[in-house]
Amino acid sequence: MGRHSAPEADDAAAAQTGEPLLQVDDLHVEFRTGDGVAHVINGVSFDLRAGETLAVLGESGSGKSVTAQAVMGILDTPPGHVTRGAIRFHGEDMLRMSGTRRRQIRGKRIAMIFQDALSALNPVFTVGWQITETLRKREGMSKKDADERAVELMDLVRIPAARDRLKSFPHQFSGGMRQRVMIAMSLAERPEIIIADEPTTALDVTVQAQIMDLLGDLRRELGTALILITHDMGVVADVADRIAVMYAGRIVEHADVHSLYRNPAHPYTIGLLDSIPRLDDKGKRLRTIPGLPPNLTAIPSGCPFHPRCPFAQDICVTRVPPNMDLGGGRRSECHFADRIVTGELTRPDQEDE
C-alpha cells in the first residue's frame, strides 16, 4: 500500500509533539421540533491524535451519529443547531470558520464513511465516476489521471479486478464491496481523519470482520486517525485504542480499550458488555439492559441512566454525577465509579434465580 502524503509543516509539527488533530470541547446540539426541543448532545468532549482510533459506542439514539455530523458540518439545520462548544482541527475552531474554509477541510482532510453504502452511493452513476468526482473537481485531475487514482484506491481496499469494475454500478456490487467503495471514496484526497459511521451495518459477521480488518490495516499503513461509530462492542475490541461510551447525548465513560473491557467503570458500560453472548455462558439467560433509552425532550433528572441502572440510589435521581477522573486518562460519569473500578461495589447479578 502507498504511504500517506505529509501534512502541512505546522500540522506535522503538531503530530510530532503529540498534540491532538481534533479536539471536541463541551459540544451541545439540540433539535427544535414540533414536539419540543430534543437535547441530543449535552456537553461532549474528546480529542483524537494522529494514527489513533477512537471508538464511540452506544445504543441507537445516544448521539453518536449526530456528534459525527456536527464535526463534519453536515447537520440538517433546521432542525439541528449547535448551541455551545468548540470543534478544533489543528487548533482552529471549525464552528467559527467561514463556509468556504470548512468545505476545504470537509472531505479532503476529514472524511466520512456513511453507514448505508447503498443509500450513500448514487445508483445512476458508475462507482468509478463517483470515486473520481472529487479528484476531478477539487484536485483538478484529468479524467485519465483520476481513473488511474481510482484504480489505485480500489486496489487499496481490496476490490478484485479494480480496473474492470470502474464502469460497474453500485447495485452490481455486494454489500461488503459497496462498503469498500465508500472507504475508497473517503481515502481519495488522503485525509488525516476518517469518521466511519456504523461501517458494518447490515453486513454478515464474516464481512464485518473483513471490513474492520481493512480499516485497521489502512490506519496503520496510511497513518490516518479513525473515529469509529458503532453500537456493537464486539467489532471494536481489536481495532480501537480508546473508547468513548455515549448515553443520552453524553460521554459517560472514556477509557483505553483494555481497561474498559477488563474493568468497566460505568453501569451502562457494564450492561453493554454483559449483553454480549459468551461461549462460557452456554445455557444461561442472556443479560440485557432493562427499559429504553430516554426521550431526549424530557431527559431524566440527575443521572440520565438512573431509571435503568441496577446500582441507582437516591443521589442518582437528584444530582448529576461528576465526570470522575479515575487516572490513566480514564473518566466516568457515575457517582460510584471509583467504587465500581476498585471492586468495592460489585455488579448486581442480573440473572434470574
Same domain, 102 and 208: yes
pTM for this entry: 0.88
Q: Is residue 88 part of a domain?
A: yes
Same domain, 210 and 333: no
Q: Which of 47, 31, 135 lies closest to 82, judged by CA?
A: 31
Q: In what order do the strands lie in the sheet with 323-327?
A: 110-113, 193-197, 225-230, 53-57, 242-247, 250-256, 330-333, 323-327
Same domain, 227 and 285: no
Q: Is residue 179 part of a domain?
A: yes
Q: Is residue 198 part of a domain?
A: yes
* pLDDT of 5: 38
* pLDDT of 117: 83
- Residues 161-192 pLDDT 10s: 999 999 999 999 998 999 999 999 999 999 99
Measured distance CA(204)–CA(144) in Å, rounded: 36
Would you place residue 203 in the very low, low, confident or very high pLDDT band (cuts 50, 70, 90)?
confident
Q: Is the confidence at residue 244, as pLDDT, over 60?
A: yes
Same domain, 136 and 219: yes
- Residues 32-47 pLDDT 10s: 998 899 999 999 999 9
Measured distance CA(200)–CA(93) in Å, rounded: 31
Strand, helix or coil at 83? strand
- Residues 109-120 pLDDT 10s: 999 998 888 888
Q: Give the pLDDT mean for 49-64.
A: 94
Range of the domain at 309: 272-342
Q: Is residue 68 part of a domain?
A: yes
User: Quick count: other Cβ atoms within 10 Å of Cβ 239?
Assistant: 18
Q: Is residue 2 part of a domain?
A: no
Q: Is the confidence at residue 4, as pLDDT, over 50?
A: no
Q: Is residue 93 part of a domain?
A: yes
Same domain, 326 and 203: no
Return the CA Rg of the chain.
21
Q: Is the confidence at residue 57, as pLDDT, over 50?
A: yes
